[in-house]
Amino acid sequence: MRVENKNLGALIRVEIEQSDNNPGSQTEENSQDAYDYFLYRPKGDEVQGRNQTQSGDVADMIDHISSEIQPMYQVDTLVEIRPENAQDVEQAEQETRALNWYFRERCRGRERLDEAVQDGLLLRNGYLKCWPEESYGLPYQETIEGTRMQVDAQLSQYQQNGEVRVTEEKVTQEAVTAVVAGYGPDGFTPVEAEIEVSPEQMEVEVTVIPKRNQILLACVAREDMFISRDGTDQDLQKPRMVAQRRWMTRNEAVSLGFDQKQVWTLRAQSVSGDDTKTARYSDQNSTRAKAADSGGDIVEIYEVYYLIDLDGDGIAERHKIYYSDGKVMKGQDGEEVVEMVRMVPFASGVPLKVSHRHQGRSIFDKIKPIEDSKRTLLRQGLDNIELANNRRPLIGPGVNEDDVEETEIGAYIRCAKGIDQYGETQYSAIFGETLQGLGYMDKMRRERGGSSIESSNTEPVNIAAHTFERSMSASEQLVMMMAVNYGTTLIRDVFVILHQQLKLLGESISFENGGEWQEMEPAQWIDRERFTVKLGLTTGEKQRRAGAYEGIFAKQMQLLQSGADGVLISEDGVYQTLIDQANLMGMVDPEQYYVDPQSDEAKQARQQKQQAAQQQAQAQEQAAQQQQQLLMQLEQMRQQTSL
């Protein structure tokens, strides 16, 4: 059924209100609590006069898991494009190198991934947006001198990379002409013609505003993403509606092309009016001061990607729609901003999946009960120590109920019964039991979070090496699963989107490959879906493999010494072991530390060694012959003497 445009704003309003992150939802409340725990804020259960320590397990666990996951995507080839057939192998390899370089160098992808990973660990889902945009640099002035033709040629070059505005133009030298006598076409009639001997010289001052089309990548805040209820996994190309709430000033909205009259009718917003966004900042009372003019007021405009049938053909198409205050936004031409698009530019990822549900689970969800228990134990234990040093005095005569209700450690209690003049309250020492409880909660934290904070740098003591290795592997398995979840959702999807955006942008890109620069035309790329994420190794796994390489190298040396060269091992095998070990540890250009046995340098050195060995053998043979001759001469002399 065709949807009339006049009903479109109402439909979008309902979709946003029923989305998974609508105001007042459980998701919004969860995000607010998560920020309070992550930023060590008071939880509301503090007692006046008693210890108010915050445990900080949520923040510590997220930091440690992030530090374990981060090295896994700090690799040059994070995603590999799989070829479609045998003829596509070289092209797929070229696109892989270009795509990874653009993500790493142009989009600052590693930094954006860090942000999205932290969002997922804290808030269940992390989001990345990948979209094309015209960007403008700072204007600068240039002076162009020369003839008109030379000036026009220079202006044309500037216009290829930006906007050019001529601010001043003047003639520095007039053209010089001369009259030349000659004959007409018949060859007999004398004529005179004026020709230009020296062309006119000009000086033009221009203002150049650099401009380029590029693909941008950004991490979108969880509270600004709205997904319709039909979303059942992390693929955001499937849900009926995906929307991003964008905060901007009225002036910024007009500069983006929205109708000025409509923009000025939008309600002014305050960032502090959004509970989740306010919760991100440490100062709960911070508010945005009113702008000096209405053009600086903050408004919220939703960028909506809606799967809906607007043309009445019975097929729903994906449309990009801008929406605010219950209405579809209009452009400067007065028409509603509705555009059919090929894809949703958002990718989502979760550390822990929940089947058939877009929202995942976070480390906050798992560690919050642990921190609550540890916070209570810490406060009780520290209060117990405080009571040992500052017992509450009992002062008589008389009883004051207000004194009994006073919670501050060391505050006196006026009491008559059993007290003459002065005494102190009694207490039971429980700090030893508190430490046992804290140790148990740390064990629970490790099992739930997967990051072994207290043993990350521990060496095995009094236990078998394989037992320690197995224990470390168990603590890393959950972190590895989280990294794989991010890889199969967030990382893969954002590379698919980036590949498509570069293709649609249609501009050539230059990328660095092995120290050399290459050119590619993404407009000629085919649509692809076969993307494989190539995560690196965890720190623990790197250490284990480095140890394995050390063992292999030691065995190779033993075999060399026992004469197995060329039988069980070779120089090439030893060289490859050393190179693989250096690559594992992240060494840049490990070939600079070792000589390839197949290189000319190695062959020349091998030849020189052979020549030296031959010369040494010849020298030894000559020495042996000389010694033999000497012995023969001595024997002859002995025989002659005996006669």
Rounded CA gap, 283 and 306, in Å?
Answer: 36
Rounded CA gap, 269 and 549, in Å?
Answer: 60
- Residue 22's pLDDT is what? 78
pTM: 0.74
How many C-beta atoms lie closer than 10 Å to residue 531's C-beta?
Answer: 17
* Positions of the chain with pLDDT under 70: 1-6, 271-279, 281-294, 390-407, 409-410, 412-429, 431, 450-475, 540, 586, 588, 643
* Beta bridge pairs of residue 138: none
Under a CB-based contact definition with an 8 Å cutoff, are residues 371 and 55 in contact? yes
Residue type, 148: R
- Residue 109's pLDDT is what? 93
Under a CB-based contact definition with an 8 Å cutoff, are residues 359 and 46 in contact? no
Rounded CA gap, 349 and 235, in Å?
Answer: 9
- The size of the chain, in residues, is 643
Rounded CA gap, 643 and 638, in Å?
Answer: 9
219-238 tens-digit pLDDT = 999 999 999 999 999 999 99
Q: Which helix (H) or strand (E) holds 601?
A: helix 600-642
Rounded CA gap, 87 and 261, in Å?
Answer: 56
Q: Is the peptide bond before 460 cis (omega within 30 degrees of 0)?
A: no
Rounded CA gap, 533 and 79, in Å?
Answer: 4
- Residue 469's pLDDT is what? 47
Please state the three-class secondary structure of 503-521 as a single string: HHHCCCEEEEECCEEEEEC
- Residue 343's pLDDT is what? 94
Residue type, 233: D
Q: How far is CA 479 from CA 62, 113, 359, 363, 538, in A?
A: 11, 16, 19, 11, 9
Q: How far is CA 247 from CA 37, 265, 271, 336, in A?
A: 26, 16, 8, 20
Which candidate, 43, 27, 26, places its Cα nearest to that of 371? 43
Provide the sign of the torsion angle of the four alpha carbons 472, 474, 479, 483, taken in this order. positive
**C-alpha 293: how far from its chain's center?**
37
The single-letter DSSP state of residue 522 is: G
